[in-house]
Structure formats: C-alpha cells, structure tokens
Structure 1
Amino acid sequence: MDRIDRQILTILLADGRATYQDLGRRVRLSANTVADRVRRLRADGIVRGYRAEVDLAALGRGMELLSDIRLREGTDRTAFETRLHDVPQVVAAMRLTGDYDYQLRVACADAREFETVVDRLKADLGVREARSRLLLHEVPLGPDRLLSP
C-alpha cells in the first residue's frame, strides 16, 4: 500500500460514497486507475464494506451507554453472541480480555428501556454482572489516523 492508496482510504473513510471520478480528481489519477486501486484494496481485505452513519438520537435512541459484561460461569460465548442479535438496543459488542468478558454499546430511549435491556441480558443471555456508564459524547478521532506513514 502506497501513499496514494492511503489518500484514497482517507477519502473513503470520510465519504464512502465518493465516486471514482471524485477520488481520481482528489488524488490526481484517472477514474479507471482509482477503480483498479479500490478493487485491489477490496480484494486484499483492506476495504471490507461501506456503512451509513446514523444519528441514534434522531431515531429516538439518544441515551447511549457502555456496559461491561461478565457472563455466568458455563455460559456459551457463541450462543451469547448469537443471541445479542435479538436485542436491538445493543448496537455494538466487543469481546475483551481482563475482568469483563464483553463491552456492549447500548442505545435506548430512556433509563426504563435500559433497565429492561439489562434485565433481559441477565434473564435470557447468561449475564451475571453489568457495569454501565452513560456515554456523554464521542470524540471523533477516526480510523484514518492509522493511515499516516
């Protein structure tokens, strides 16, 4: 991966809908050359997909929390991860090392909905303990920082 590939990735991270012509104009290459580079980045597994960024507050889910989760002894991790898909308020899950097994990012309308989510995690998904914190705001650092040489 060279400097131009890094420039293309930086642009795509900011605007995943940028056209090949727009990318080419910004990195001073033809649209066809840029298309070839993007196809190679996808084939190499560097670009895995494109996502929409959604304002959760606009969807009525403005209360975001980070919950450190400890599973009950004997809980099947694969089953836990599969069942998380059935809890729409959980918008991200990361398996961890250390004192807790997972960190969940949860988006709810209010505290009552969050309480319902925690109760469900404990009753149905094998959660023993949940330590949660309210997310005040996210500092937008972005993965493009990793592209600097």
Structure 2
Amino acid sequence: MANFIKNYQIDNLDQAILTELINDARIPYSEIAKRNRVSPATIHVRVEKMRSAGIIAGTRLQINAKQLGYDVCCFIGITLRHAGDYPTAIEKLEKLEEVIEAYYTTGQYNVFIKIMTPSINDLQHVLINRIQSIEEIQSTETLISLQQPINRDIQP
C-alpha cells in the first residue's frame, strides 16, 4: 500500500498542472513551467508531491475502441443471488476481457458493469454464455449505449 501524504491541499498552480496533464499527459514539464511562469523543477516537485498524496494515480493511454472494432458498448445491471456472492462474482467477472468496468452499487443492482464487444452477436454470446452462466448471478438487465456525448475526467 502506498504511503500517501495526508491532507495535501492543491493550490492554483497544482490545478493548472493537473489541467495541463489531463489534456495531454505527455506534455513536457518545461512547457507547463513556461505557461505558468515557474521553473521546470517546480513543476517536477509539484507533480511528485501530488503523486505522493495520491492525487495523481498514474497515466493512461486512451484508446479509441471503435477504431479497434468494438462497436457495441453496454451496461449491465447485475442482481446477485446472495449478498455474500459479491467477491466470487467479481472474481469471475474480472476474468472476462469484455468487462472493462465494474461497480458495487446501491439500489436495484448489486453490481453494474460496462462491457465492449465487436457486435450484437458477440454481446449475446458474452451475456448468455459467460455472464448469465455465473452461478452467483440471479439476473441481469442490459442497456445498450447508442452514443457517448460526454466523456471527461474530474476537473481539479
């Protein structure tokens, strides 16, 4: 477990750094420094402090799933047979490469997952043969996404 700096408060410079990195994680520290009229060393120190505080958790490459042939995005609400089935069900769902996100939720469903497949036929196969066959799952409800008009990160 990481040893985080507790109660780190971000200031305007930290917010500016985070905004720049959200827009382009590959931007050189020297460019961020120039835009904010500080030294590159200051940017480096601030980024490292925010990493130590757990504010910056890593960097990721963003992939266009549609360009890779994944045309179907859907969300599946899952009702478990028993509350105690959660750990086992999650372990089984994690093994399915089509499951790209999972949430433990309140309300109608115990678990809410996001999956991506190349086609509706592939979705049907995954749903019937791989998800609904998990014995800890009592029922599912599938919502197919038609488009994603908003996709953004939290702003600092």
TM-score calculated relative to the size of structure 2: 0.86
Residue 46 of structure 1 corresponds to: 55
Q: How does 1:93-108 map to 2 (within 5 A)?
A: 93-108=102-117
| SS of corresponding position for 2:133 | helix
Residue 7 of structure 1 corresponds to: 16
Separation of aligned partners in 1, 2:108 and 2:62 = 31
Are 1:132 and 2:142 matched, yes or no?
yes
Are 1:143 and 2:142 matched, yes or no?
no
Question: Aligned pairs, how many?
Answer: 146
Per-residue CA shift, 1:33-68, capped at 9, x if unaligned? 000000000000000011111111111111101111
Q: How does 1:107-126 map to 2 (within 5 A)?
A: 107-119=116-128, 120-124=130-134, 126=136
Separation of aligned partners in 1, 2:74 and 2:142 = 6
Separation of aligned partners in 2, 1:74 and 1:82 = 14
Q: How does 1:15-34 map to 2 (within 5 A)?
A: 15-34=24-43
Separation of aligned partners in 1, 2:93 and 2:127 = 12
| SS of corresponding position for 2:148 | coil
Identify unmatched segments of 5+ residues in structure 2: 1-9
Separation of aligned partners in 2, 1:40 and 1:6 = 13
| SS of corresponding position for 2:43 | helix
Report % sequence identity: 24
Are 1:36 and 2:36 matched, yes or no?
no
Aligned Cα root-mean-square deviation (Å) = 1.6
Q: Which moved more, 1:112-121 or 1:132-141?
A: 132-141
Identify unmatched segments of 5+ residues in structure 1: none
